[in-house]
Structure 1
Protein backbone atom coordinates (compact mmCIF):
# COMPACT_ATOMS: atom_id res chain seq x y z
CA UNK A 1 0.00 0.00 0.00
CA UNK A 2 1.08 3.60 -0.67
CA UNK A 3 2.30 5.99 1.95
CA UNK A 4 0.09 8.93 2.85
CA UNK A 5 1.97 12.19 2.65
CA UNK A 6 0.80 14.91 4.96
CA UNK A 7 1.35 18.31 3.42
CA UNK A 8 2.24 21.14 5.75
CA UNK A 9 0.77 24.25 4.15
CA UNK A 10 0.38 27.64 5.78
CA UNK A 11 -3.27 28.45 6.36
CA UNK A 12 -4.46 32.03 6.65
CA UNK A 13 -8.11 32.21 7.66
CA UNK A 14 -8.06 35.88 8.66
CA UNK A 15 -9.62 37.45 5.56
CA UNK A 16 -8.85 40.96 6.80
CA UNK A 17 -5.14 40.35 6.30
CA UNK A 18 -5.46 39.21 2.68
CA UNK A 19 -4.69 41.91 0.13
CA UNK A 20 -6.58 41.19 -3.08
CA UNK A 21 -5.22 42.76 -6.27
CA UNK A 22 -7.58 45.15 -8.03
CA UNK A 23 -8.03 42.59 -10.82
CA UNK A 24 -9.37 40.04 -8.32
CA UNK A 25 -11.76 42.61 -6.84
CA UNK A 26 -12.96 43.50 -10.35
CA UNK A 27 -13.53 39.82 -11.14
CA UNK A 28 -15.44 39.14 -7.92
CA UNK A 29 -17.60 42.23 -8.41
CA UNK A 30 -18.30 41.25 -12.02
CA UNK A 31 -19.64 37.89 -10.86
CA UNK A 32 -21.67 39.47 -8.05
CA UNK A 33 -23.14 42.08 -10.40
CA UNK A 34 -24.15 39.27 -12.76
CA UNK A 35 -26.05 37.53 -9.98
CA UNK A 36 -27.71 40.80 -8.93
CA UNK A 37 -28.70 41.52 -12.54
CA UNK A 38 -30.10 38.01 -12.96
CA UNK A 39 -32.28 38.33 -9.85
CA UNK A 40 -33.28 41.88 -10.77
CA UNK A 41 -34.67 40.77 -14.14
CA UNK A 42 -37.44 38.89 -12.34
CA UNK A 43 -38.32 41.88 -10.16
CA UNK A 44 -38.29 44.30 -13.09
CA UNK A 45 -40.39 41.99 -15.27
CA UNK A 46 -42.93 41.69 -12.44
CA UNK A 47 -43.21 45.49 -12.16
CA UNK A 48 -43.44 45.80 -15.96
CA UNK A 49 -46.18 43.16 -16.09
CA UNK A 50 -48.07 44.92 -13.32
CA UNK A 51 -47.80 48.28 -15.05
CA UNK A 52 -49.04 46.86 -18.37
CA UNK A 53 -51.90 44.82 -16.89
CA UNK A 54 -54.40 47.67 -16.51
CA UNK A 55 -54.76 51.30 -15.53
CA UNK A 56 -55.04 50.19 -11.90
CA UNK A 57 -51.94 48.04 -12.29
CA UNK A 58 -50.06 51.00 -13.69
CA UNK A 59 -51.16 53.10 -10.71
CA UNK A 60 -49.98 50.34 -8.35
CA UNK A 61 -46.61 50.10 -10.10
CA UNK A 62 -46.24 53.90 -9.97
CA UNK A 63 -47.06 53.85 -6.26
CA UNK A 64 -44.48 51.11 -5.66
CA UNK A 65 -41.84 53.11 -7.55
CA UNK A 66 -42.52 56.23 -5.41
CA UNK A 67 -40.93 54.71 -2.32
CA UNK A 68 -37.41 55.86 -1.41
CA UNK A 69 -36.45 52.27 -0.59
CA UNK A 70 -37.61 51.01 -3.99
CA UNK A 71 -35.79 53.87 -5.74
CA UNK A 72 -32.65 52.95 -3.82
CA UNK A 73 -33.01 49.30 -4.89
CA UNK A 74 -33.58 50.39 -8.50
CA UNK A 75 -30.46 52.57 -8.33
CA UNK A 76 -28.50 49.58 -7.03
CA UNK A 77 -29.84 47.40 -9.85
CA UNK A 78 -28.86 50.00 -12.45
CA UNK A 79 -25.40 50.35 -10.90
CA UNK A 80 -24.89 46.57 -10.91
CA UNK A 81 -26.08 46.39 -14.52
CA UNK A 82 -23.73 49.21 -15.54
CA UNK A 83 -20.77 47.54 -13.84
CA UNK A 84 -21.58 44.18 -15.38
CA UNK A 85 -21.87 45.64 -18.89
CA UNK A 86 -18.65 47.70 -18.61
CA UNK A 87 -16.81 44.71 -17.08
CA UNK A 88 -18.15 42.48 -19.85
CA UNK A 89 -16.93 44.90 -22.52
CA UNK A 90 -13.52 44.91 -20.77
CA UNK A 91 -13.38 41.11 -20.90
CA UNK A 92 -14.47 40.99 -24.53
CA UNK A 93 -11.81 43.53 -25.54
CA UNK A 94 -9.20 41.32 -23.87
CA UNK A 95 -10.64 38.13 -25.38
CA UNK A 96 -10.65 39.58 -28.89
CA UNK A 97 -7.04 40.73 -28.53
CA UNK A 98 -7.66 44.48 -28.51
CA UNK A 99 -6.10 44.76 -25.05
CA UNK A 100 -2.99 43.01 -23.77
CA UNK A 101 -3.60 40.23 -21.29
CA UNK A 102 -0.97 41.45 -18.85
CA UNK A 103 -1.31 42.23 -15.18
CA UNK A 104 -0.54 45.91 -15.83
CA UNK A 105 -3.29 46.18 -18.45
CA UNK A 106 -5.65 44.25 -16.18
CA UNK A 107 -5.02 46.73 -13.36
CA UNK A 108 -5.50 49.71 -15.67
CA UNK A 109 -8.71 48.43 -17.23
CA UNK A 110 -10.12 47.38 -13.84
CA UNK A 111 -9.58 50.92 -12.54
CA UNK A 112 -11.09 52.42 -15.71
CA UNK A 113 -14.08 50.11 -15.24
CA UNK A 114 -14.53 51.36 -11.68
CA UNK A 115 -14.36 55.02 -12.77
CA UNK A 116 -16.84 54.56 -15.63
CA UNK A 117 -19.19 52.68 -13.30
CA UNK A 118 -19.06 55.49 -10.73
CA UNK A 119 -19.98 58.02 -13.43
CA UNK A 120 -22.82 55.82 -14.70
CA UNK A 121 -23.99 55.21 -11.13
CA UNK A 122 -24.24 58.96 -10.53
CA UNK A 123 -26.18 59.34 -13.78
CA UNK A 124 -28.48 56.48 -12.73
CA UNK A 125 -29.09 58.26 -9.42
CA UNK A 126 -30.06 61.43 -11.26
CA UNK A 127 -32.38 59.38 -13.49
CA UNK A 128 -34.05 57.55 -10.59
CA UNK A 129 -34.48 60.57 -8.35
Structure 2
Protein backbone atom coordinates (compact mmCIF):
# COMPACT_ATOMS: atom_id res chain seq x y z
CA UNK A 1 0.00 0.00 0.00
CA UNK A 2 1.38 3.41 -1.03
CA UNK A 3 0.99 6.38 1.26
CA UNK A 4 -0.64 9.08 -0.90
CA UNK A 5 -1.31 11.54 1.89
CA UNK A 6 0.28 14.92 1.51
CA UNK A 7 3.34 15.53 3.66
CA UNK A 8 2.69 18.25 6.17
CA UNK A 9 5.36 20.90 6.69
CA UNK A 10 7.47 20.69 9.79
CA UNK A 11 7.73 23.96 11.68
CA UNK A 12 10.63 24.41 14.05
CA UNK A 13 12.14 27.15 16.08
CA UNK A 14 14.80 29.13 14.30
CA UNK A 15 18.24 29.03 15.86
CA UNK A 16 20.53 32.06 15.74
CA UNK A 17 22.72 30.26 13.19
CA UNK A 18 19.68 29.87 10.87
CA UNK A 19 18.90 33.59 10.69
CA UNK A 20 21.14 34.16 7.66
CA UNK A 21 19.47 31.43 5.61
CA UNK A 22 15.88 32.14 6.70
CA UNK A 23 13.85 34.36 4.37
CA UNK A 24 11.53 36.52 6.40
CA UNK A 25 8.59 38.07 4.49
CA UNK A 26 8.45 41.89 4.25
CA UNK A 27 5.61 42.04 6.78
CA UNK A 28 7.80 40.20 9.29
CA UNK A 29 10.70 42.55 8.62
CA UNK A 30 8.42 45.56 9.19
CA UNK A 31 7.14 44.03 12.41
CA UNK A 32 10.63 43.39 13.78
CA UNK A 33 11.86 46.84 12.71
CA UNK A 34 8.78 48.39 14.36
CA UNK A 35 9.85 46.85 17.67
CA UNK A 36 13.51 47.82 17.16
CA UNK A 37 12.60 51.43 16.29
CA UNK A 38 10.42 51.67 19.40
CA UNK A 39 13.27 50.39 21.56
CA UNK A 40 15.75 52.83 19.94
CA UNK A 41 13.44 55.77 20.59
CA UNK A 42 12.91 54.66 24.19
CA UNK A 43 16.62 54.18 24.89
CA UNK A 44 17.59 57.51 23.31
CA UNK A 45 14.80 59.45 25.03
CA UNK A 46 17.28 61.22 27.40
CA UNK A 47 19.18 62.55 24.35
CA UNK A 48 15.95 63.71 22.72
CA UNK A 49 14.85 65.48 25.91
CA UNK A 50 18.27 67.13 26.28
CA UNK A 51 18.28 68.24 22.63
CA UNK A 52 14.76 69.68 22.95
CA UNK A 53 15.51 71.44 26.25
CA UNK A 54 18.77 72.85 24.89
CA UNK A 55 17.14 74.08 21.70
CA UNK A 56 14.36 76.09 23.38
CA UNK A 57 15.81 77.32 26.69
CA UNK A 58 17.63 80.45 25.50
CA UNK A 59 19.66 81.88 22.65
CA UNK A 60 22.89 80.79 24.31
CA UNK A 61 21.64 77.23 24.80
CA UNK A 62 20.43 77.19 21.19
CA UNK A 63 23.99 78.04 20.19
CA UNK A 64 25.29 75.03 22.13
CA UNK A 65 22.54 72.95 20.49
CA UNK A 66 23.72 73.86 17.00
CA UNK A 67 27.36 73.47 18.07
CA UNK A 68 26.61 69.87 19.06
CA UNK A 69 26.07 69.08 15.38
CA UNK A 70 29.23 70.81 14.21
CA UNK A 71 31.76 70.56 17.04
CA UNK A 72 30.25 67.60 18.89
CA UNK A 73 29.37 66.94 22.50
CA UNK A 74 32.37 66.48 24.76
CA UNK A 75 34.56 63.79 23.20
CA UNK A 76 31.84 62.73 20.71
CA UNK A 77 32.44 64.29 17.27
CA UNK A 78 29.68 66.18 15.48
CA UNK A 79 29.44 63.59 12.70
CA UNK A 80 28.63 60.90 15.25
CA UNK A 81 25.97 63.14 16.80
CA UNK A 82 24.46 63.58 13.33
CA UNK A 83 24.51 59.82 12.74
CA UNK A 84 22.76 59.18 16.06
CA UNK A 85 20.15 61.81 15.22
CA UNK A 86 19.77 60.24 11.77
CA UNK A 87 19.13 56.92 13.52
CA UNK A 88 16.51 58.64 15.64
CA UNK A 89 14.93 60.15 12.53
CA UNK A 90 14.72 56.70 10.93
CA UNK A 91 13.33 55.17 14.14
CA UNK A 92 10.61 57.81 14.42
CA UNK A 93 9.65 57.69 10.74
CA UNK A 94 9.60 53.90 10.54
CA UNK A 95 7.73 53.53 13.84
CA UNK A 96 5.16 56.14 12.79
CA UNK A 97 4.60 54.73 9.29
CA UNK A 98 4.46 51.12 10.53
CA UNK A 99 2.07 52.17 13.30
CA UNK A 100 -0.22 53.85 10.79
CA UNK A 101 -0.02 50.68 8.66
CA UNK A 102 -1.06 48.54 11.63
CA UNK A 103 -3.90 50.90 12.55
CA UNK A 104 -5.11 51.00 8.94
CA UNK A 105 -5.05 47.22 8.65
CA UNK A 106 -6.92 46.87 11.96
CA UNK A 107 -9.54 49.50 11.09
CA UNK A 108 -10.28 48.19 7.60
CA UNK A 109 -9.84 44.48 8.41
CA UNK A 110 -7.35 44.28 5.55
CA UNK A 111 -5.51 41.14 6.51
CA UNK A 112 -4.87 39.41 3.21
CA UNK A 113 -1.40 38.11 2.46
CA UNK A 114 -1.07 40.24 -0.68
CA UNK A 115 -2.14 43.46 1.05
CA UNK A 116 0.19 42.75 3.98
CA UNK A 117 3.06 42.21 1.55
CA UNK A 118 2.41 45.35 -0.50
CA UNK A 119 1.79 47.58 2.52
CA UNK A 120 5.01 46.30 4.10
CA UNK A 121 6.97 47.19 0.97
CA UNK A 122 5.40 50.68 0.95
CA UNK A 123 6.25 51.08 4.65
CA UNK A 124 9.88 50.07 4.18
CA UNK A 125 10.34 52.19 1.05
CA UNK A 126 8.67 55.32 2.41
CA UNK A 127 10.57 55.23 5.70
CA UNK A 128 13.89 54.85 3.86
CA UNK A 129 13.09 57.59 1.30
CA UNK A 130 12.00 60.05 3.99
CA UNK A 131 15.05 59.21 6.11
CA UNK A 132 17.38 59.81 3.17
CA UNK A 133 15.68 63.15 2.43
CA UNK A 134 15.88 64.35 6.04
CA UNK A 135 19.42 62.96 6.36
CA UNK A 136 20.47 64.98 3.32
CA UNK A 137 19.08 68.08 5.04
CA UNK A 138 20.77 67.14 8.33
CA UNK A 139 24.17 66.73 6.66
CA UNK A 140 23.75 69.99 4.72
CA UNK A 141 23.38 68.65 1.21
CA UNK A 142 20.61 71.17 0.51
Q: TM-score range by the shorter chain?
A: 0.7 to 0.9
**Match in the other structure for 1:32:** 36
**1:30-69 Cα deviation digits (max 9, x unpaired):** 1111111223332111122233444443332221122111
Instruction: Give the TM-score taking structure 2 as reference length.
Output: 0.74
The CA distance in 2 between the partners of 1:88 and 1:10, in whole Å, is 29
Residue-pair matches, total: 120
Select which of 46, 53, 62 maps to 1:49: 53
- The two structures, once aligned, show a CA RMSD in angstroms of 2.0
Q: For the Cα contact (< 8 Å) 1:79–1:124, is it kept in 2?
A: no
Higher mean Cα deviation, 82-91 or 30-39? 30-39
The CA distance in 2 between the partners of 1:117 and 1:10, in whole Å, is 32
Q: Secondary structure at the match of 1:19?
A: coil
More helix by share: 1
* Runs of at least 5 residues in structure 1 that lack an aligned partner in the other structure: 1-8
**Match in the other structure for 2:22:** 18
How far residue 17 of structure 1 moved from its aligned partner, in angstroms, is 2.4
Instruction: Give the TM-score taking structure 1 as reference length.
Output: 0.81
**Match in the other structure for 1:4:** none
The list of structure 1 runs, each at least 4 consecutive aligned residues, that deviate by more than 3 angstroms after superposition, is 9-12, 51-56
**Match in the other structure for 2:127:** 117
Q: Secondary structure at the match of 2:44?
A: helix
Select which of 79, 87, 98 maps to 1:87: 98
**1:64-105 Cα deviation digits (max 9, x unpaired):** 1221111111111111111111101100100101x6201111
